[in-house]
Structure 1
């Protein structure tokens, strides 16, 4: 494995890449092409403008926008100031985004107003009590400035992109360069949102040094190199999108094609037209490509690598991807926001290994399988996956501004996933200890969805279970109990959820009940709820 260059920080990595290959196209977004040198120059302008607004090292700056070239420029501008980026999902609604902005104390927010016909500022104003006397939102006193990447808006502290960038002229270039070069490898550079069994979204605090190493190694196993054309379908707000997309591509001088809205039906045409060499997506995306009747007539000779993620993949699908799509390499992997890249399959692995395992630990990563009492287990036995090494997070961000622990005293991250190792060290994930399920590639947590549902004024109690879905893998079904003297109708609850929740969290069905079944210790009995599903109309398979 080629060692990661000694950059240590994102600003130094960008400067090195611009010096070595200034004309290398690192972003191609429709008619806009951004070279390594242009990225450095535009990021410096963003940094100077942020400094003019008073952003200091360690401040949190949020980005709430779809995948575009401006997202990439903005991210590197934030990192040049020594600030910490807080990505917000475009699927997020007002109450979700307000919560993360408040808990991270974000000082500035970049937003694409009006994306897909939705006003992000209106949603946020409703959740954060409208404008304050001298800042954009009364309920977000730390948030002083909102910068519009696109779209129109007005109000206290709301600035257009043009107005924002013009403020760079008030800060000398040497001041911005000094700021960028004083960023340290151990400094936090991103807070990525995740959720868990508590239902409260948590911010995972990560440093530039550890992510640079993790995704430099990831890129080498994948085979990402200069000149590759790589469409980033995963949102930049997701750990894969920002780290395996933006950072990996710029570090390796590959070309990012930001995909704001992905159309699976147009994937074959996209590969052919854009001469894509790497494609990452869930197994059902590749199955869809292989079943497309237009496949035999398409020129897919540019496609070299397929990345399927940590999902169960039929062995025949892997073989078909190699034979019919012509990919040289099919990669499976396992990682988590709190632990970065943990395992990957390797070049030369047989189809059976790629299909049935997530590969072997990455260099510098420790992995063990443990019993419920913490005892390490031998190959072949199932237990919880524990992760150690450089990629483990510094902790969860909390209101004090200091990352909390999140790992045990020996430095092991308890993943909550159940896995088994084979004799060669390949990891297979067999279950999730945490009550998580995956909707179309997005992690969904019943406890979080339940907490959101219970913010509905007429819902007293809520429970959520995952139900198989042929298209998305799994979807949420909700069981709700009305508050006294109120009424609930399924359609109204789902409409409310669509307004206030990310689309992948919205329950497919909502069942109104007089009470939820409970276990002997008083907890909601989800086993009993699942047993009732087969009798409900609309259950998959009926």
Structure 2
């Protein structure tokens, strides 16, 4: 699609373009926002709130420590392995202010995954939670990491509460396995050493890498997407442009249940919300629904950022349904396909429509989003400002409006490439800057886009394309279904046959016959599954996205094909 096609697709008041060079780097945005919103709350966790002014001061203390008390140099990589705690923004912004490149690291990684990421990124420093320090003890000697900083969950809390929380986690809940890292520094000691010390504020160019964000772990070796300062600044401006009209500066309270080390939550809460002075409520363990609901009850929250599986779980929680949603005006969905049944249920429970968007780690991550003033359920919205989209066939030729093909994206938020993997970069990113998303979709006449499915998840039944998203959408409408997934399995007659997995809601029951009858009533013959399996749980990523790949691999093993 040409640039002109998109220009008149934006709602009144939304510019079709942003200036990605409005700020020289992320640090310029941080400084401006922390001055403008100095007394406004920035992040809250476990009952403690830090203002923007406090975040700026503490991140400066950490930057001073890194420059004065370690041998780290600008451009060095620092792995940040933390869940949603107050330490996260302090450490990330402090590392950037010292000129380091942040390598976001999943706290749930195994020793093998950590070793790969640390060696692949060339990380020289690591900050981790004490709960994971036993893994660091195993991994660090096999890598180039020389500086290790350890923190405990309650380290940012007032003294008595800090001691209590840390003691309970360590001695009562037994969540901190023994570890031996004699050269490791405690984060609070590092902040104390940096306090009051001067340091040289980094001045990276907009082309310099700000974050190495690893991706692709479920489809092969994880690769580091090089996200530059310009990429992330562009994306925060793009998000603000499409969402800003609905948000009041310095007034919004946003629930952050998704992990900040994941690009979706990182860009939304740490980047875009910084621009408007948003107050982010960090939920450390979103899987603990009773604790989540208890936290939510304390705030008159105006925004909620989540994904399909979390929305389903919350709407099925009786205490969640009793909360006061009168202030909620914004719910954003990403990370996985939003099912229509989920969107309708959320609206029914909270009174707030869900605004679905689309993105990838490689697009920093937001590429498209539904404008709040014109949400179209079932679509991923329109491209964010300064972004072009097109759909191509297997030969790379652009397809017409309404035709189904692979979605490609071009814009200032598209990554620089994969870290030290030129071949992998060339496979996904062409010389003109078009990024192949690996998603099958179409563009409507009105400019809204629909994703049909992941290219690699498509099922081929007797020559017909079947998309798991459609099957799961239908299955999710069957009363009693809590979660579901559809995959293709090898079949001698049809090439592939459809198998569905179902998790039944607590206290309810379903039979295979009921599932099949529902699918037959709503789908054409070749889309009806051949097999149904009931499970207690389905495998998910760290943010709750169902792993069809893992289910497929299990089936192939059963058949002796893997």
TM-score, length basis structure 1: 0.74
**Paired residue secondary structure (1:342):** strand
Determine the C-alpha separation between the residues in 1 that align with 2:545 and 2:448.
34
Determine the C-alpha separation between the residues in 1 that align with 2:558 and 2:409.
43
- Alignment check: 8 A CA contact 1:381 1:420 kept: yes
Q: Do structure 1's residue 245 and structure 2's residue 269 form an aligned pair? A: yes
Q: Do structure 1's residue 165 and structure 2's residue 191 form an aligned pair? A: yes
Q: Do structure 1's residue 306 and structure 2's residue 331 form an aligned pair? A: yes
Match of 1:538? none
Match of 1:378? 400
Structure 1 residues 267-292: Cα deviation after superposition (integer angstroms, max 9, x where no partner): 55443321111112223433444454
Pick one of 113, 117, 125 that aligns with 2:137.
Answer: 125
Distance 1:504 1:143, change over 3 A: farther
**Paired residue secondary structure (1:157):** coil
How far does residue 511 in structure 1 lie from its aligned partner after superposition?
Answer: 7.3
**Paired residue secondary structure (1:418):** strand
Match of 1:15? 31
Match of 2:147? 145
Distance 1:507 1:275, change over 3 A: same
Match of 1:51? 67
Distance 1:17 1:415, change over 3 A: same
How far does residue 370 in structure 1 lie from its aligned partner after superposition?
Answer: 0.2
Once structures 1 and 2 are overlaid, which stretch shifts more, 202-211 or 148-157? 148-157
Pick one of 12, 26, 40 that aligns with 2:56.
Answer: 40
**Paired residue secondary structure (1:7):** coil
- Alignment check: 8 A CA contact 2:133 2:150 kept: no
**Paired residue secondary structure (2:142):** coil
Q: Do structure 1's residue 100 and structure 2's residue 104 form an aligned pair? A: no
Determine the C-alpha separation between the residues in 1 that align with 2:341 and 2:424.
44
- Alignment check: 8 A CA contact 1:98 1:124 kept: no
- Alignment check: 8 A CA contact 2:358 2:368 kept: yes
Determine the C-alpha separation between the residues in 2 that align with 1:512 and 1:314.
27
Determine the C-alpha separation between the residues in 2 that align with 1:41 and 1:403.
40
Structure 1 residues 481-505: Cα deviation after superposition (integer angstroms, max 9, x where no partner): xxxxxxxxxxxxxxxx99xxx9987
- Alignment check: 8 A CA contact 1:397 1:403 kept: no
How far does residue 417 in structure 1 lie from its aligned partner after superposition?
Answer: 0.9
How far does residue 312 in structure 1 lie from its aligned partner after superposition?
Answer: 4.4
Pick one of 370, 374, 379 that aligns with 1:349.
Answer: 374
Once structures 1 and 2 are overlaid, which stretch shifts more, 46-55 or 241-250? 241-250
State how 1:196-345 maps to structure 2 within 5 Å: 199-222=220-243, 223-225=246-248, 226-262=250-286, 263-265=288-290, 267-294=292-319, 297-309=322-334, 311-315=336-340, 317-322=342-347, 324-327=349-352, 329-339=353-363, 340-345=365-370
Instruction: Count the aligned residue pairs.
Output: 446
How far does residue 246 in structure 1 lie from its aligned partner after superposition?
Answer: 1.4
TM-score, length basis structure 2: 0.71
Distance 1:435 1:58, change over 3 A: farther
Distance 1:290 1:212, change over 3 A: same
**Paired residue secondary structure (2:373):** coil
Determine the C-alpha separation between the residues in 2 that align with 1:504 and 1:286.
14
Determine the C-alpha separation between the residues in 1 that align with 2:308 and 2:557.
36
Query: RMSD over aligned Cα, in angstroms?
Result: 3.6
**Paired residue secondary structure (2:439):** strand
**Paired residue secondary structure (2:268):** helix
Match of 2:170? none
Structure 1 residues 243-270: Cα deviation after superposition (integer angstroms, max 9, x where no partner): 1121122221001111110133455544
- Alignment check: 8 A CA contact 1:384 1:417 kept: yes
Once structures 1 and 2 are overlaid, which stretch shifts more, 339-348 or 285-294? 285-294
Structure 1 regions of 5+ residues with no counterpart?
115-119, 129-136, 447-464, 473-496, 518-523, 525-542
**Paired residue secondary structure (1:332):** strand
State how 1:432-471 maps to structure 2 within 5 Å: 432-435=454-457, 468-470=501-503
Determine the C-alpha separation between the residues in 2 that align with 1:419 and 1:384.
6
Match of 1:494? none
**Paired residue secondary structure (2:91):** helix
How far does residue 381 in structure 1 lie from its aligned partner after superposition?
Answer: 1.0
Match of 1:453? none
Distance 1:304 1:197, change over 3 A: closer
How far does residue 314 in structure 1 lie from its aligned partner after superposition?
Answer: 4.9
Match of 1:479? none
Determine the C-alpha separation between the residues in 2 that align with 1:228 and 1:468.
39
Once structures 1 and 2 are overlaid, which stretch shifts more, 30-39 or 91-100? 30-39
**Paired residue secondary structure (1:261):** coil
Determine the C-alpha separation between the residues in 2 that align with 1:271 and 1:373.
49
Distance 1:32 1:313, change over 3 A: closer
Match of 2:6? none
Match of 1:366? 388
**Paired residue secondary structure (2:374):** coil
- Alignment check: 8 A CA contact 1:417 1:429 kept: yes
Distance 1:379 1:238, change over 3 A: same
Pick one of 61, 72, 77 that aligns with 1:60.
Answer: 77
Distance 1:512 1:9, change over 3 A: closer
Q: Do structure 1's residue 408 and structure 2's residue 434 form an aligned pair? A: no
**Paired residue secondary structure (1:12):** helix
How far does residue 404 in structure 1 lie from its aligned partner after superposition?
Answer: 5.3
Structure 1 residues 423-473: Cα deviation after superposition (integer angstroms, max 9, x where no partner): 1121111121235999999x9x99xxxxxxxxxxxxxxxxxx99634379x
Determine the C-alpha separation between the residues in 1 that align with 2:219 and 2:258.
25
Match of 1:461? none
- Alignment check: 8 A CA contact 1:144 1:157 kept: no
Distance 1:338 1:300, change over 3 A: same
- Alignment check: 8 A CA contact 2:230 2:412 kept: no
